[in-house]
């Protein structure tokens, strides 16, 4: 199934691998052994990535499996689970690894550990409350200014680049949550939106879900209609609750935009200085 040139990726539970054979899949499980059994090397061609839904599983089996299969570690409680990241570092030799961390008040420590271990991070931002916004601001400051951060922290990384290049990439895309391109298939086989909180069943044409939501948001002449960041956000923070207030998340966009402007300024100054030296 193809929307435009982009194939739809299906986020499926491991028991549905036979049903989705031949399609682009992202396979999730609590059990690494189940993943390895369901996905022999011959089946890896259409595999986009695997999601490990727990950080306490025995992962040795993954060290001997496939090669270069992107692995997404799903963290639920950053305050208690951050020490569990260390035991996954040995898999980096074999697979690209990313850690998905929910935007909870305690996320900063988890991001620092992930970053020290050289894991890229995806922040599951949802609709953050004021305490989570503060934590996100701390993470953004760390990402922008700490010299040891060598791996992307999303959505900050791609948003910064898109501000820098002035080519907006909506958050729906950065967060891999637009159901036109990524479908979450529930354990009982129903297709819906991948975005957390998983379990909200979206019906109707999933290919047009984001476009319809954006039309509604703009027609209602609410906060999105006058938002300077609409092209970079796409109304992402107005779902599932449309009455979510965006003053906090706008501080994040503003900081990213300012950082991109500073970056451009630094680069221009550097270029002029190099010309002055004749190099």
Stretch that binds ligand SF4, among 71-79, 113-121, 236-244, 258-266 (CB under 6 A): 236-244
Report the run of H or E that residue 37 belongs to, with start and end: helix 32-38
Residue 233 is a binding residue for ligand SF4 (CB under 6 A)? yes
Residue 224 is a binding residue for ligand SF4 (CB under 6 A)? yes
Residue 227 is a binding residue for ligand SF4 (CB under 6 A)? yes
Asked if 98 contacts 70 with a C-beta cutoff of 8 angstroms, the reply is yes
Cα–Cα distance measured from residue 246 to residue 244, given in angstroms and rounded to the nearest whole number: 6
CA-to-CA dists, residue 269 to 105, 166, 257, 275, angstroms: 38, 19, 19, 10
Sheet holding 191-193, edge to edge: 153-154, 121-124, 97-102, 71-74, 47-52, 25-29, 9-13, 182-185, 191-193
Residue 250 is a binding residue for ligand SF4 (CB under 6 A)? yes
Q: Which of 89, 130, 118, 97 lies closest to 245, judged by CA?
A: 130
Rank residues 13 and 235 by Cβ distance to ligand SF4 and give the closer one.
235
Residue 238 is a binding residue for ligand SF4 (CB under 6 A)? yes
Q: What is the CA radius of gyration of the chain?
A: 20
Q: How far is the CB of 155 from ligand SF4 (least distance, A)?
A: 12
For 119-252, list the strands marked E by DSSP. Answer: 121-124, 153-154, 182-185, 191-193
Stretch that binds ligand SF4, among 33-41, 144-152, 235-243, 254-262 (CB under 6 A): 235-243
Residue 182's SS3 state is strand
Rank residues 32 and 248 by Cβ distance to ligand SF4 and give the closer one.
248
Q: How far is the CB of 142 from ligand SF4 (least distance, A)?
A: 22
What is the β-pairing status of strands 71-74 and 121-124? unpaired
* Helix/strand number for the chain, H first, E second: 10, 11
Stretch that binds ligand SF4, among 43-51, 135-143, 189-197, 230-238 (CB under 6 A): 230-238
Contact with ligand SF4 (CB under 6 A): which of 104, 236, 259, 260? 236
Q: How far is the CB of 232 from ligand SF4 (least distance, A)?
A: 8
Diameter over CA atoms, the chain: 66
Residue 249 is a binding residue for ligand SF4 (CB under 6 A)? yes
Contact with ligand SF4 (CB under 6 A): which of 97, 101, 246, 256? 246
Number of residues binding to ligand SF4, judged by CB under 6 A: 13
Cα–Cα distance measured from residue 29 to residue 87, given in angstroms and rounded to the nearest whole number: 18
Rank residues 181 and 232 by Cβ distance to ligand SF4 and give the closer one.
232
Rank residues 127 and 192 by Cβ distance to ligand SF4 and give the closer one.
127
Residue 133 is a binding residue for ligand SF4 (CB under 6 A)? no
| Cα of 150 vs its chain's centroid, Å | 17
Q: How far is the CB of 222 from ligand SF4 (least distance, A)?
A: 8
Q: How far is the CB of 125 from ligand SF4 (least distance, A)?
A: 11
Residue 235 is a binding residue for ligand SF4 (CB under 6 A)? yes
Q: Which residues contact ligand SF4 by CB under 6 A?
A: 223-224, 227, 229-230, 233, 235-238, 246, 249-250
């Amino acid at each position: 199934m193809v929307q435009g040139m982009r194939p739809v990726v299906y986020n499926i539970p491991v028991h549905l691998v036979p049903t989705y054979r031949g399609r682009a899949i992202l396979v999730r499980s609590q059990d690494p052994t189940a993943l390895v059994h369901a996905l022999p090397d011959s089946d890896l061609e259409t595999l986009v990535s695997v999601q490990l839904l727990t950080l306490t599983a025995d992962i040795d089996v993954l060290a001997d499996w496939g090669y270069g299969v992107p692995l997404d570690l799903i963290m639920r409680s950053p305050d208690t689970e951050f020490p569990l990241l260390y035991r996954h570092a040995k898999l980096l030799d074999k697979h690209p690894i990313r850690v998905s961390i929910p935007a909870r008040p305690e996320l900063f420590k988890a991001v620092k550990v992930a970053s020290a271990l050289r894991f890229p991070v995806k922040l599951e931002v949802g609709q953050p409350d004021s305490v989570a916004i503060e934590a996100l601001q701390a993470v953004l400051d760390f990402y922008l200014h700490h010299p040891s951060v060598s791996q992307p922290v999303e959505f900050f990384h791609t948003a910064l680049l898109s501000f820098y290049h002035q080519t907006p990439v909506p958050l729906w895309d950065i967060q891999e949550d637009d159901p036109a391109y990524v479908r979450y298939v529930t354990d009982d086989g129903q297709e819906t939106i991948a975005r957390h909180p998983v379990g909200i069943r979206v019906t109707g044409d999933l290919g047009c879900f984001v476009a319809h939501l954006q039309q509604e948001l703009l027609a209602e002449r609410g906060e999105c209609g006058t938002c300077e960041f609409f092209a970079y956000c796409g109304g992402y923070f107005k779902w599932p609750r449309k009455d979510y207030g965006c003053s906090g998340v706008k501080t994040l966009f503003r900081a990213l935009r300012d950082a991109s402007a500073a970056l451009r300024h630094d680069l221009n100054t550097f270029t002029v200085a190099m010309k002055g030296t004749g190099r």
